[in-house]
Amino acid sequence: MAGTPAAPVTPAAGTGGMFSASTNRGFFAKLKKAYSWYTGGFLVFVILLAIAEQMGLPRVWIGYIFLVATVGLYAGIGIIARTSDAAEYYVAGRRVPAFFNGMATGADWMSAASFIGMAGTLYLTGFNGLAFVMGWTGGYCLVALFLAPYLRKFGQFTIPDFLGARYGGHIPRAVGIFAAILCSFTYVVAQIYGVGLITTRLTGVPFEYGIFLGLTGILVCSFLGGMRAVTWTQVAQYIILIVAYMIPVVWLSVKQTGVPIPQIVYGQQLQKVTALEEKFINDPKEIEVRGIFKARADAAAAKLKNAEKAYADDKAAAVAAVEKAKAENAPPEVMTPLEKALGGFPVDVAAAKAGWTKEAALAARAAPPLRHAEAFPGKDEPARDVSRRNFLALVFCLMVGTAALPHILMRYYTTPSVRQARESVFWSLFFIFLLYFTAPALGVLAKFDVYSLVVGSQYANLPAWAAAWAKVDPGLLSIVDVNKDGIVQLAEIVLGGDIIVLATPEIAGLPYVVSGLVAAGGLAAALSTADGLLLTIANALSHDFYYKMLDPNASTARRVTISKILLLVVAIIAASVSAQKPADILFLVSAAFSLAAAAFFPALVCGIFWKRANRWGATLGMIAGLSITFYYMATTQPWLRGLFGVTSSIADNTWWGIGAISAGLWGVPLGFIVIIVVSMLTPAPNREVQELVEHVRYPNLTGDRMVTTAT
Amino acid sequence: MQLTERQQEYWHKNLTVTSVLLGIWFLVTFVLMYFARDLSFNFFGWTFAFYMAAQGTLIIYVVIIWYYARYMNNLDRVYDVHEGEDE
């Protein structure tokens, strides 16, 4: 593959950040040149593949070529950037320029959920889905104002490092290690699951193989080169994922409006969508289909009320129908379906109940379509209030969680200076912003295509992409003629969120090579995030637990080796968990945010801005925040309720109508309160700690040099 | 360790700019969005609330961080701070 970057290795592998002014600038210039060549090379590669496709290269081959070329590229960077030096391994030698650290953070940040799931969520939930867009960008304001520059000034390796040094003793560090592993692990399981899914889609290998194939790519990179290799791979991955995201959206925009800047023109499309929504809400055919769903749901709900009797009645009716037909000597075309119905009858009441519960869930499809642009929809004023509260609570949790996820905060240790750390947060958000302000546009453009081209078309000639996807995976798209009129009604379409990004190239009428590119982009997003997370977990264990708590005399080489072994072990455990396909992946991702927010944010912010905060305050604050967040999730989230055997109703356990996804809303304030109250009740931290806070806050204090060089 | 007047002044300026920017962040995120249902007038095709949630606030976030980095890095220059390995 063209344009493999050679620059990341060219600077001499120094041990510290001992680079003179000219070297830093020279390094930046070299990186810029290398990645420009790389981007150009990547585009040429895609164009060559497109030409090959026109000349008859089979689709499966395109999938394989994308998979092998990109994963091979990441592995190649990993091999070139291999290292066993501690500063290189943990913080990439603190030489990463702000601009490139921003790109790497962007890739680290944007996971499979952002790349593949976000536009679909926006399609399905309209305005309320924008909580994700706001939450996952606005959190960087907190990172910039409260954390990044101070953590960089502190200048150690990990987040538990800061807790350990600031609050003193092993207890705050241990709580930090536990929390870092808890939220990173829940998050990494979801990423590896995403890797498996995309690899399967790209090449057709079974899901379990897909996971381990993708894992190889992750491991070669982080295993050999730690943070250094991960950084330079993430920059490469960011470029692929942003190109892959933009091309189909721009194309779709040109197709619909003639303007290649979707972010500017989709307002007009939104107006058209809104007009179509009003039409669908009042259309008699739509009302008819919704009525059919309502009747089916009501019938099932009625049967569920008295399941035993309904089961006996239904069974008797089915048997009677067959008997009657037999007695009347009915022709086979009447007989066969009746016998089939009896043969397929649920074996017992439990099975029948499961079927009825599924039918009763059709009630959701009996509702009129959602108004995409309406904020906080609800049937009446109290319902709208709850919707608004949940929107704001989710935004809050995602933002604070962003400013507390260790794998993101860790990236700001890698810049050469505090100034660069500040600039780097700006570049991070800028690169993330590029994707996040495009996603809502994609949601609306895709909706317009579905509303105007699919709805109202004949079942006999559906658009090619719709027909193809409905055949491939009914979980992603299913269209069934419920009222048998031969015409597609909106209420007859069920759409899985992931299809929006995956099928956009086909909706826009692009060649298959772009579909391959999109899958490669999703893979880059998932791999880069998994890389960062695995590194965080392995470092928390090797650096914080082993080196700082068990064996402070361990040599550098030994620490790095242990970190590498742990990385392998953690990756294999995470992959085995993913292979089980745990019940609720999306919930796991959002849970990570609430947990991180409650555990880290209060302790980190108080550590920098309040000198009086002490060890007991921080320790108990972290534990209290984590506990209440976890308690609220365990009592209100269906999957966890099942796990812990909670039987009281969800409504009894919710406070103020807030959903389980925003449990951090309780944990963060409680964390602050406990830190403040307990710190005031216990003695102030000693002189040494106060000096550390001053060192982090003020420029040029005597003793600075001593603290920075002691690692 | 004795803090000099200039250091106090530096920290004070830092806190001021931090709180002002944080105030803006809070205003556009929570106050503005609280009233989202009332802000449904047409804004170049979007409703105003939808535009703000999808693009407007995002742009403001980027500007907040950009301004903070610029202001603080200037402050560092004025107060002659040298740390790390800068250009």
Does residue B64 form part of some domain?
Answer: yes
State the SS3 of A213-226: HHHHHHHHHHHHHH
pLDDT at A545: 87
Residue numbers in B near A703 (CB within 8 A): 1
- Choice between A608 and A472, residue whose per-residue pLDDT is larger: A608
Q: Which residues of A419-457 are buried (b: 16+ CB within 10 A; e: fewer)?
A: bbbbbbbbbbbbbbbebbbbbbbbbbbbbbbbbeebbee
Give the distance from residue A378's alpha carbon to the nearest chain B alpha carbon, in angstroms: 12
Residue B86 lies in a domain: no
Long-range contacts made by residues A216-221, C-beta under 8 angstroms, separation at least 24? A216/A71, A216/A75, A217/A71, A217/A74, A217/A75, A217/A527, A218/A527, A218/A530, A218/A531, A218/A534, A218/A571, A219/A567, A219/A568, A219/A571, A220/A74, A220/A75, A220/A78, A220/A79, A221/A74, A221/A75, A221/A77, A221/A78, A221/A531
Residue B41 at interface with chain A, using a CB cutoff of 8 Å: no
Spatial separation of the C-alpha atoms in residues A464 and A350, rounded to whole Å? 40
3 state DSSP class of A476: coil
Is 60 exceeded by the pLDDT of residue A6?
no
Cα–Cα distance, A112 to A116 (Å, whole number): 6
**Structure tokens given for A290:** 């919704």
Question: Looking at the predicted structure, is the pLDDT value of residue A352 above 60?
Answer: yes
Of the candidate ranges A11-15, A26-30, A192-196, A425-429, the one whose mean pLDDT is the lowest = A11-15
What's at A93, amino acid-wise?
A: G
What was the pLDDT predicted at A582? 67
Closest among A606, A688, B15 to B7, alpha carbons compared: B15
Contacting residues for A497 by C-beta, under 8 A, at least 6 apart: A117, A119, A120, A121, A123, A124
* E strand or H helix at A478: strand A477-479
Alpha-carbon distances of A43 from A2, A20, A39, rounded to whole Å? 9, 35, 6
- Inter-chain contact A436–B58, Cβ cutoff 8 Å? yes
Amino acid at A183: C
B29:A138 CB<8 A: yes
A697–chain B Cβ distance below 8 A for any pair: yes
Q: Is the pLDDT of residue A583 over 60?
A: no
A7-16, A304-313, A322-331, A654-663 — which is least confidently predicted? A7-16
Is pLDDT above 60 for A122?
yes
What is the average pLDDT score of chain B? 86
pLDDT (tens digit per residue) in A153-199: 888 888 998 999 899 888 999 999 999 998 899 888 888 888 887 88
- Lowest mean pLDDT of A436-445, A462-471, A525-534, B3-12, name the range: A462-471
Residue A703 has pLDDT above 80, yes or no: no
Residue B83 lies in a domain: no
Q: How many domains does chain B have?
A: 1
| Contact between chains at B85 and A376 (C-beta distance less than 8 A) | no
Contact A513, A49 (CB under 8 A): yes
DSSP secondary structure code for residue A236 in this structure: H
Q: B55 to chain A: which residues are within 8 Å by CB?
A: 263, 437, 440
Q: What is the pLDDT of residues A610-648, one digit of tens each?
A: 989 999 999 999 999 999 999 999 888 887 788 788 888
**Proportion of chain A above pLDDT 70, given as a percent:** 94
DSSP A620-634: HHHHHHHHHHHHHHH
pLDDT at A197: 78
Dist. CA B69–CA B87, nearest whole Å: 16
Residue A509, SS3?
coil
Q: Please check whether residue B87 lies inside any domain of the structure.
A: no
Residue A209 tokens read as: 């193989």
Residue, of A591 and A44, whose pLDDT is higher: A44
Average pLDDT, integer, range A564-588: 80
A310-334: burial string, b at 16+ Cβ within 10 Å, e else: bbeebeeebeebbeebeeeeeeeee
DSSP summary character for residue A458: B
- Residue of A133, A150, A417, A687 to mutate, testing the B interface (most B Cβ within 10 Å of its Cβ): A417
Query: Average per-residue pLDDT in chain A?
Result: 85
Highest mean pLDDT among A114-128, A201-215, A313-327: A114-128
Q: One-letter amino acid identity for A557?
A: A
| Residue-wise pLDDT tens digits, A30-78 | 889 989 999 999 999 999 999 998 898 888 888 888 888 888 888 888 8
**Using an 8 Å Cβ cutoff, are A269 and A443 in contact?**
no
Residue B74 domain-assigned (yes or no): yes
* Phi, psi angles (nearest 5°) of residue A458: -75, 145
Residue B26 C-alpha, separation from nearest chain A C-alpha, in angstroms = 10
Distance from CA of A416 to the nearest CA of B (A): 6
B31 vs A388: CA distance, rounded Å = 12
At a CB cut-off of 8 Å and minimum separation 6, what does A700 contact? B7, B80, B81, B82, B83
pLDDT of residue A475: 74
**Does some domain include residue B34?**
yes
Q: How far is CA A696 from CA A150, A519, A609, B38, in A?
A: 6, 43, 10, 44
With a pLDDT cut of 90, the percent of chain A lying above it is 29
Cα(A271)–Cα(A258) distance, rounded to whole angstroms? 17
- Burial class from Cβ neighbours inside 10 Å (0-12, 13-18, 19+) for residue A690 reads middle
Q: Mean of the pLDDT values across residues A504-508?
A: 81
pLDDT at A381 (0 to 100) = 87
Q: Which residues of A are less than 8 Å from B26 in CB distance?
A: none
Q: Record the pTM.
A: 0.88
CA distance A69 to A229: 18
Interatomic CA distance for residues A60 and B4, integer angstroms: 68
> Domain range holding B44?
5-78
Q: Chain A closest CA to B25's CA: distance in Å?
A: 8
A465 burial via Cβ count (<10 Å: 0-12, 13-18, 19+): buried
> Phi-psi region for residue A3, left (φ > 0), alpha (ψ -120 to 50) or beta?
left
Q: pLDDT tens for residues A514-563? A: 888 998 898 889 889 988 998 889 888 888 888 888 888 888 888 888 88
Structure-model confidence comparison of residues A701 and A323, the more confident one: A323
B84 part of a folded domain? no
Q: What is the ipTM of this complex?
A: 0.93
